[in-house]
Structure 1
Amino acid sequence: MKKIVLATMAIVGLLITSTKAQTGHVEATKTPPQVIFTKLLNTPSLKNQEFKMVLVTFQPGEIGAPHRHPIPTFAYVIEGEFESTFNGKTHHYKAGDAFYEEPNLVHGQTKTLGDKPVKLLAIFIGDKGKPFIEPAK
Protein backbone atom coordinates (compact mmCIF):
# COMPACT_ATOMS: atom_id res chain seq x y z
CA MET A 1 0.00 0.00 0.00
CA LYS A 2 2.84 2.41 0.87
CA LYS A 3 4.45 1.80 -2.54
CA ILE A 4 1.20 2.63 -4.36
CA VAL A 5 0.76 5.84 -2.35
CA LEU A 6 4.39 6.83 -2.94
CA ALA A 7 4.17 6.05 -6.65
CA THR A 8 0.93 8.02 -6.97
CA MET A 9 2.39 11.00 -5.16
CA ALA A 10 5.47 10.82 -7.37
CA ILE A 11 3.49 10.89 -10.58
CA VAL A 12 1.45 13.88 -9.51
CA GLY A 13 4.68 15.68 -8.65
CA LEU A 14 6.15 15.05 -12.05
CA LEU A 15 3.11 16.42 -13.83
CA ILE A 16 3.38 19.67 -11.98
CA THR A 17 6.94 20.36 -13.11
CA SER A 18 7.12 22.79 -15.98
CA THR A 19 7.33 20.92 -19.24
CA LYS A 20 9.64 23.55 -20.67
CA ALA A 21 12.11 23.07 -17.83
CA GLN A 22 11.96 19.29 -18.11
CA THR A 23 11.98 18.72 -21.86
CA GLY A 24 13.20 21.85 -23.56
CA HIS A 25 9.87 22.90 -25.05
CA VAL A 26 6.90 20.51 -24.99
CA GLU A 27 3.48 22.08 -24.78
CA ALA A 28 0.65 19.58 -24.68
CA THR A 29 -1.76 22.20 -23.28
CA LYS A 30 -2.20 25.97 -23.64
CA THR A 31 -1.76 26.33 -19.86
CA PRO A 32 1.67 24.95 -18.92
CA PRO A 33 1.50 22.09 -16.39
CA GLN A 34 2.30 23.29 -12.89
CA VAL A 35 4.48 21.12 -10.66
CA ILE A 36 3.07 21.36 -7.17
CA PHE A 37 5.29 18.85 -5.38
CA THR A 38 8.58 17.07 -6.01
CA LYS A 39 10.33 14.61 -3.73
CA LEU A 40 13.41 12.47 -4.30
CA LEU A 41 12.73 9.02 -2.86
CA ASN A 42 15.56 6.95 -1.43
CA THR A 43 13.96 4.11 0.46
CA PRO A 44 15.12 0.49 0.41
CA SER A 45 12.68 -0.24 -2.44
CA LEU A 46 12.83 3.10 -4.31
CA LYS A 47 16.40 4.23 -4.96
CA ASN A 48 16.92 7.68 -6.50
CA GLN A 49 13.35 7.86 -7.80
CA GLU A 50 11.72 11.25 -8.27
CA PHE A 51 8.06 11.68 -7.41
CA LYS A 52 6.17 14.58 -9.00
CA MET A 53 2.65 15.89 -8.61
CA VAL A 54 1.54 18.01 -11.57
CA LEU A 55 -1.58 20.09 -12.08
CA VAL A 56 -2.67 19.92 -15.74
CA THR A 57 -5.28 22.37 -17.08
CA PHE A 58 -7.09 22.21 -20.42
CA GLN A 59 -9.16 25.26 -21.40
CA PRO A 60 -12.72 24.83 -22.80
CA GLY A 61 -12.55 23.68 -26.42
CA GLU A 62 -8.84 22.96 -26.20
CA ILE A 63 -7.33 19.98 -28.02
CA GLY A 64 -4.05 18.79 -26.52
CA ALA A 65 -1.02 18.09 -28.70
CA PRO A 66 0.12 14.49 -29.28
CA HIS A 67 2.66 13.42 -26.66
CA ARG A 68 3.91 10.51 -24.57
CA HIS A 69 5.02 9.99 -20.97
CA PRO A 70 8.29 8.04 -20.65
CA ILE A 71 7.50 7.08 -17.05
CA PRO A 72 4.36 5.61 -15.38
CA THR A 73 1.47 8.08 -15.09
CA PHE A 74 -1.38 8.11 -12.60
CA ALA A 75 -4.05 10.81 -12.87
CA TYR A 76 -7.15 12.03 -11.07
CA VAL A 77 -9.73 14.30 -12.72
CA ILE A 78 -10.41 17.21 -10.35
CA GLU A 79 -12.96 18.96 -12.54
CA GLY A 80 -14.38 18.97 -16.04
CA GLU A 81 -14.87 16.32 -18.70
CA PHE A 82 -12.69 15.23 -21.61
CA GLU A 83 -11.85 12.55 -24.14
CA SER A 84 -8.35 11.21 -24.55
CA THR A 85 -7.07 9.00 -27.34
CA PHE A 86 -4.40 6.81 -25.82
CA ASN A 87 -2.58 4.17 -27.83
CA GLY A 88 -5.32 4.32 -30.49
CA LYS A 89 -8.27 3.91 -28.10
CA THR A 90 -10.55 6.79 -27.01
CA HIS A 91 -11.37 7.12 -23.31
CA HIS A 92 -13.96 9.41 -21.70
CA TYR A 93 -13.19 10.88 -18.27
CA LYS A 94 -15.05 13.21 -15.90
CA ALA A 95 -14.51 14.71 -12.45
CA GLY A 96 -13.84 11.98 -9.90
CA ASP A 97 -12.32 9.51 -12.39
CA ALA A 98 -8.81 8.14 -11.93
CA PHE A 99 -6.64 6.33 -14.46
CA TYR A 100 -3.19 4.88 -15.15
CA GLU A 101 -1.12 5.13 -18.34
CA GLU A 102 1.66 2.77 -19.35
CA PRO A 103 4.96 4.50 -20.19
CA ASN A 104 5.82 5.52 -23.77
CA LEU A 105 2.40 4.95 -25.34
CA VAL A 106 1.12 7.82 -27.51
CA HIS A 107 -1.58 10.30 -26.54
CA GLY A 108 -2.91 11.04 -30.01
CA GLN A 109 -5.36 13.70 -28.86
CA THR A 110 -6.98 15.02 -25.71
CA LYS A 111 -9.98 17.33 -26.03
CA THR A 112 -12.20 19.02 -23.52
CA LEU A 113 -15.94 18.46 -23.54
CA GLY A 114 -18.38 21.12 -22.45
CA ASP A 115 -17.73 24.74 -21.57
CA LYS A 116 -15.62 24.33 -18.41
CA PRO A 117 -11.88 23.87 -17.98
CA VAL A 118 -10.52 20.42 -17.20
CA LYS A 119 -8.11 20.05 -14.29
CA LEU A 120 -6.11 16.88 -13.67
CA LEU A 121 -3.77 15.97 -10.88
CA ALA A 122 -1.11 13.77 -12.47
CA ILE A 123 1.48 11.79 -10.57
CA PHE A 124 4.76 10.54 -12.02
CA ILE A 125 7.57 8.47 -10.56
CA GLY A 126 10.81 7.78 -12.36
CA ASP A 127 14.56 8.20 -12.40
CA LYS A 128 15.73 11.53 -11.02
CA GLY A 129 15.69 14.22 -13.74
CA LYS A 130 13.91 12.10 -16.35
CA PRO A 131 11.25 14.14 -18.20
CA PHE A 132 7.62 13.24 -17.59
CA ILE A 133 6.40 14.35 -21.02
CA GLU A 134 7.82 14.23 -24.54
CA PRO A 135 6.44 15.06 -27.98
CA ALA A 136 4.98 12.11 -29.89
CA LYS A 137 7.13 10.99 -32.82
Structure 2
Amino acid sequence: MRKLALTALAITGFFITSVKAQQHDDVTKTPPQVVLTKLLNTASLKNQEVKMVLVTFEPGEVSPGHRHPIPTFAYVIEGEFESTFDGKVYHYKAGDAFYEEPNKLHGSTKNLSKTKPVKLLAVFIGDKGKPFIAPE
Protein backbone atom coordinates (compact mmCIF):
# COMPACT_ATOMS: atom_id res chain seq x y z
CA MET A 1 0.00 0.00 0.00
CA ARG A 2 2.88 2.39 0.77
CA LYS A 3 4.30 1.75 -2.71
CA LEU A 4 0.90 2.63 -4.25
CA ALA A 5 0.74 5.85 -2.21
CA LEU A 6 4.26 6.84 -3.27
CA THR A 7 3.43 6.03 -6.89
CA ALA A 8 0.30 8.21 -6.74
CA LEU A 9 2.24 11.11 -5.25
CA ALA A 10 4.98 10.73 -7.86
CA ILE A 11 2.41 10.73 -10.66
CA THR A 12 0.72 13.86 -9.31
CA GLY A 13 4.06 15.59 -8.90
CA PHE A 14 4.89 14.81 -12.52
CA PHE A 15 1.66 16.36 -13.80
CA ILE A 16 1.59 19.39 -11.49
CA THR A 17 2.70 21.63 -14.36
CA SER A 18 -0.72 21.31 -15.99
CA VAL A 19 -2.65 22.67 -13.01
CA LYS A 20 -6.28 23.47 -13.78
CA ALA A 21 -8.71 24.95 -11.24
CA GLN A 22 -12.36 23.92 -11.04
CA GLN A 23 -14.96 24.06 -8.29
CA HIS A 24 -17.55 21.49 -7.21
CA ASP A 25 -20.39 21.73 -4.70
CA ASP A 26 -19.62 19.20 -1.97
CA VAL A 27 -19.63 18.70 1.77
CA THR A 28 -17.52 21.65 2.99
CA LYS A 29 -18.45 25.34 3.28
CA THR A 30 -15.55 26.19 0.96
CA PRO A 31 -16.09 23.99 -2.11
CA PRO A 32 -13.18 21.65 -2.80
CA GLN A 33 -11.05 23.01 -5.64
CA VAL A 34 -9.87 20.53 -8.27
CA VAL A 35 -6.35 21.68 -9.10
CA LEU A 36 -5.47 18.92 -11.56
CA THR A 37 -7.23 16.30 -13.65
CA LYS A 38 -5.17 13.96 -15.80
CA LEU A 39 -6.25 10.89 -17.76
CA LEU A 40 -3.73 8.05 -17.50
CA ASN A 41 -3.31 5.45 -20.21
CA THR A 42 -0.29 3.41 -19.29
CA ALA A 43 0.07 -0.35 -19.43
CA SER A 44 -1.04 -0.69 -15.79
CA LEU A 45 -3.46 2.28 -15.56
CA LYS A 46 -5.80 2.13 -18.55
CA ASN A 47 -8.40 4.90 -18.72
CA GLN A 48 -7.73 5.98 -15.12
CA GLU A 49 -8.12 9.59 -14.06
CA VAL A 50 -6.10 11.34 -11.36
CA LYS A 51 -7.67 14.30 -9.56
CA MET A 52 -5.82 16.54 -7.13
CA VAL A 53 -8.29 18.42 -4.93
CA LEU A 54 -7.59 21.20 -2.43
CA VAL A 55 -10.00 20.78 0.50
CA THR A 56 -10.56 23.53 3.08
CA PHE A 57 -12.42 23.16 6.38
CA GLU A 58 -13.29 26.50 7.94
CA PRO A 59 -12.59 27.03 11.68
CA GLY A 60 -14.81 24.72 13.74
CA GLU A 61 -16.44 23.25 10.61
CA VAL A 62 -17.83 19.70 10.76
CA SER A 63 -18.60 17.93 7.48
CA PRO A 64 -21.59 15.59 7.12
CA GLY A 65 -21.19 11.92 6.27
CA HIS A 66 -19.99 11.00 2.79
CA ARG A 67 -18.14 8.33 0.83
CA HIS A 68 -15.35 8.38 -1.72
CA PRO A 69 -16.14 5.89 -4.52
CA ILE A 70 -12.47 5.76 -5.56
CA PRO A 71 -9.16 5.42 -3.63
CA THR A 72 -8.21 8.54 -1.67
CA PHE A 73 -4.73 9.70 -0.72
CA ALA A 74 -4.36 12.89 1.31
CA TYR A 75 -1.70 15.17 2.72
CA VAL A 76 -2.49 17.73 5.45
CA ILE A 77 -1.07 21.11 4.43
CA GLU A 78 -2.15 23.04 7.53
CA GLY A 79 -4.30 22.69 10.63
CA GLU A 80 -5.48 19.81 12.76
CA PHE A 81 -8.66 17.78 12.48
CA GLU A 82 -10.52 14.71 13.66
CA SER A 83 -11.89 12.27 11.11
CA THR A 84 -14.31 9.41 11.70
CA PHE A 85 -13.71 6.85 8.95
CA ASP A 86 -15.17 3.35 8.81
CA GLY A 87 -16.22 3.64 12.47
CA LYS A 88 -12.76 4.65 13.78
CA VAL A 89 -11.67 8.10 14.94
CA TYR A 90 -8.39 9.46 13.56
CA HIS A 91 -6.48 12.66 14.39
CA TYR A 92 -4.40 14.35 11.70
CA LYS A 93 -2.22 17.46 11.72
CA ALA A 94 -0.08 19.39 9.23
CA GLY A 95 2.50 17.07 7.66
CA ASP A 96 0.42 13.88 8.07
CA ALA A 97 -0.55 11.75 5.07
CA PHE A 98 -3.23 9.07 4.92
CA TYR A 99 -5.13 6.68 2.63
CA GLU A 100 -8.86 5.86 2.62
CA GLU A 101 -10.31 2.79 0.98
CA PRO A 102 -13.14 3.33 -1.52
CA ASN A 103 -16.82 3.36 -0.48
CA LYS A 104 -16.25 3.21 3.28
CA LEU A 105 -18.32 5.65 5.35
CA HIS A 106 -16.55 8.88 6.20
CA GLY A 107 -18.83 9.71 9.14
CA SER A 108 -17.55 13.24 9.73
CA THR A 109 -14.52 15.48 9.67
CA LYS A 110 -14.13 18.16 12.33
CA ASN A 111 -11.72 21.09 12.28
CA LEU A 112 -10.46 21.20 15.88
CA SER A 113 -9.58 24.91 15.74
CA LYS A 114 -12.08 27.72 16.27
CA THR A 115 -9.75 30.23 14.57
CA LYS A 116 -7.68 28.50 11.86
CA PRO A 117 -8.71 26.60 8.73
CA VAL A 118 -7.62 23.09 7.83
CA LYS A 119 -6.24 22.58 4.33
CA LEU A 120 -5.43 19.27 2.75
CA LEU A 121 -4.52 18.04 -0.69
CA ALA A 122 -6.52 14.95 -1.65
CA VAL A 123 -5.52 12.78 -4.60
CA PHE A 124 -8.11 10.50 -6.19
CA ILE A 125 -7.42 7.81 -8.79
CA GLY A 126 -10.29 6.03 -10.53
CA ASP A 127 -12.21 5.36 -13.71
CA LYS A 128 -12.49 8.35 -16.03
CA GLY A 129 -15.45 10.56 -15.09
CA LYS A 130 -16.26 8.75 -11.84
CA PRO A 131 -17.09 11.23 -9.04
CA PHE A 132 -14.63 11.46 -6.16
CA ILE A 133 -17.24 12.17 -3.49
CA ALA A 134 -20.81 11.08 -2.75
CA PRO A 135 -22.83 12.63 0.10
CA GLU A 136 -24.30 10.02 2.45
TM-score per shorter chain, which class? 0.7 to 0.9
1:19 matches 2:24:
yes
1:123 matches 2:128:
no
Q: Deviations over 1:72-93 (max 9, x none)?
A: 0000000000000001111000
Contact 1:19 1:133 survives alignment (8 Å): no
1:7 matches 2:8:
yes
Q: Which has the higher contact order (CA 8 A, sep 6+)?
A: 1
Instruction: Map 1:92-107; keep pairs closer than 5 Å.
Output: 92-107=91-106
**CA RMSD across the alignment:** 2.1
**Following superposition, which runs of at least 4 residues in structure 1 exceed 4 angstroms of deviation?**
1-6
Contact 1:6 1:51 survives alignment (8 Å): no
Cα distance in structure 1, aligned partners of 2:23 and 2:65: 17
Contact 1:124 1:132 survives alignment (8 Å): yes
Q: How many residues align?
A: 126
Q: Which runs of 5+ in 1 are unaligned?
A: 21-26
Question: What is the CA distance between 1:99 and its match in structure 2?
Answer: 0.1
Change (3 A) 1:40 1:6: farther
2:135 match: 135
Cα distance in structure 1, aligned partners of 2:41 and 2:4: 12
Question: What is the CA distance between 1:28 and its match in structure 2?
Answer: 1.1
Opposite residue 35 of structure 1, the aligned amino acid is V
Cα distance in structure 1, aligned partners of 2:53 and 2:125: 11
Change (3 A) 1:32 1:44: same
1:59 match: 58
Q: TM-score, normalised by structure 1?
A: 0.84
Change (3 A) 1:90 1:3: closer
Question: What is the CA distance between 1:19 and its match in structure 2?
Answer: 3.3
Secondary structure at the aligned position of 1:84 is classed as strand
Q: Which runs of 5+ in 2 are unaligned?
A: none
Q: TM-score, normalised by structure 2?
A: 0.85
Cα distance in structure 1, aligned partners of 2:104 and 2:5: 21
Cα distance in structure 2, aligned partners of 1:126 and 1:101: 13
Cα distance in structure 1, aligned partners of 2:89 and 2:61: 16
Opposite residue 19 of structure 1, the aligned amino acid is H
